[in-house]
Amino acid sequence: MRSVNSARELGAKFARNFPDLRASDADIRTAVDSILTPQIKLNKSDLERKADQRGALAAVGVMSALVLGGVAYWYGKSEVVVVKEVTDSIPVLWAAAIVFLVLSVTVFISFSHIRQEANDARFFHIVSMRKAAFEGAIHVLDRRRRREGISTSRGVARDSARPDRISTGVTPRGAESLVAQWMRHLGEVNAEVTPFRGDGGVDVAGGRYIAQVKHFAGSVGVAPVRELAGVASDDGRLPLFFTSTGYSSGAVAFANRLEIALFVYDVAGAELRAVNPLALTLLKRGLGQQVT
């Protein structure tokens, strides 16, 4: 399976015979993913082929540099008498080796950028397929629910107080506790700080959402957001990102493409600000489990 439309049709087909009409969206997403993921078979993209070519070219350049450098070194150290023309060519060999090495490094940097771009494109496509399959399933399930008189409301119950102002500031661990309280206030009633490090970039986790928290002076770049997206893709829960400062333009663009909500929290002001459209929607709608 390669297309978004095929994934949507698969989700709809799955939902026609799904027995539990009162299942939560999270359970539906997990069930659809379990069927869709083994069937995803993507062809190699033009970007991936271009990255392969750059990688091969860089490897050839490095090998050429090593060969030329080795020959120059051998002639320079060898006790074998060689003709003057060969001796005179040693500096040329060294220069050629250096040129090949510099070119190889340049090509390798290009390869790294293209490979990351190709990986992102593949990841975006898979996420789009998963989203389409889920939407196809929900569309069919909601029609079945309405026929059976079952509510399709997705309102959210908020039963936790918002955080208080903290004029003295917080530690990074304290920031995680603060974010957990914000998530509970928004309806993710089971949100708690993860109990240990080495958690794959997840600092707070609840029933439907996982969150990463950054409490430092600089803006968040694309790498931490990409890391969280990968963890969420494997985990199945929806990703949220919180920071005390802001985000680079690349991080915002990446998050928008993958529909990751970005927030900025203000400890002293006890405020939570949405950075992108999804975060704004969640601030208004809330996070909690489906309420019927």
Asked whether residue 108 falls in the same domain as residue 226, the answer is no
Asked whether residue 204 falls in the same domain as residue 136, the answer is no
Asked whether residue 140 falls in the same domain as residue 179, the answer is no
Of 92, 119, 152, which marks where a domain is finished? 152
Q: Residue 286: pLDDT above 50? A: yes
- Label residue 51 exposed, middle or buried (CB < 10 Å: 0-12, 13-18, 19+): buried
With cut-offs at 50, 70 and 90, classify the pLDDT of residue 292.
Answer: very low
Asked whether residue 145 falls in the same domain as residue 28, the answer is yes
Task: Find which of 55-59, 87-91, 288-292 is predicted with most confidence, using mean pLDDT.
Answer: 55-59
Alpha-carbon distances of 242 from 113, 125, 157, 177, 194, rounded to whole Å = 27, 25, 22, 12, 15
What is the model's pLDDT at position 168? 82
With cut-offs at 50, 70 and 90, classify the pLDDT of residue 228.
Answer: very high
Asked whether residue 88 falls in the same domain as residue 60, the answer is yes
Asked whether residue 88 falls in the same domain as residue 190, the answer is no
What is the model's pLDDT at position 127? 86
- Number of structural domains (the chain) is 2
Q: Residue 145: pLDDT above 80? A: yes
Got the DSSP string for 58-111?
HHHHHHHHHHHHHHHHHHHH--S---HHHHHTHHHHHHHHHHHHHHHHHHHHHH
CATH number at residue 200: 3.40.1350.10
Residue closest to 107 by CA, chosen among 58, 73, 72: 58
Asked whether residue 114 falls in the same domain as residue 204, the answer is no
As a whole number, mean pLDDT of residues 236-252 equals: 93
Q: For the chain, how big is the Rg over CA atoms in Å?
A: 27
Q: Is residue 248 part of a domain?
A: yes
Token pair, residue 255, equals 């998050």
Q: Residue 104: pLDDT above 70? A: yes
Q: Is residue 21 part of a domain?
A: yes
Percent residues over pLDDT 70 in the chain = 90
User: Is there a contact between 190 and 206 (Cβ–Cβ < 8 Å)?
Assistant: yes
Asked whether residue 84 falls in the same domain as residue 207, the answer is no
Got the DSSP string for 16-65?
HT-S-TT--HHHHHHHHHHHHGGG--PPPPHHHHHHHHHHHHHHHHHHHH
Residue 10 lies in domain: 1-152
Q: Is residue 263 part of a domain?
A: yes
Q: Is residue 29 part of a domain?
A: yes
Asked whether residue 208 falls in the same domain as residue 140, the answer is no
Q: Residue 150: pLDDT above 70? A: yes
Q: Is residue 33 part of a domain?
A: yes
Dihedral angle sign, alpha carbons of residues 98, 103, 104, 108: positive
As a whole number, mean pLDDT of residues 46-58 equals: 93
Q: Is residue 163 part of a domain?
A: no
Across the chain, mean pLDDT equals 87
Asked whether residue 25 falls in the same domain as residue 145, the answer is yes
Asked whether residue 210 falls in the same domain as residue 140, the answer is no
Q: Is residue 58 part of a domain?
A: yes
Q: Residue 86: pLDDT above 60? A: no
Asked whether residue 181 falls in the same domain as residue 44, the answer is no
Statement: the pTM of the whole predicted model exceeds 0.85: no
Token pair, residue 210, equals 């996982």
Q: Is residue 291 part of a domain?
A: no
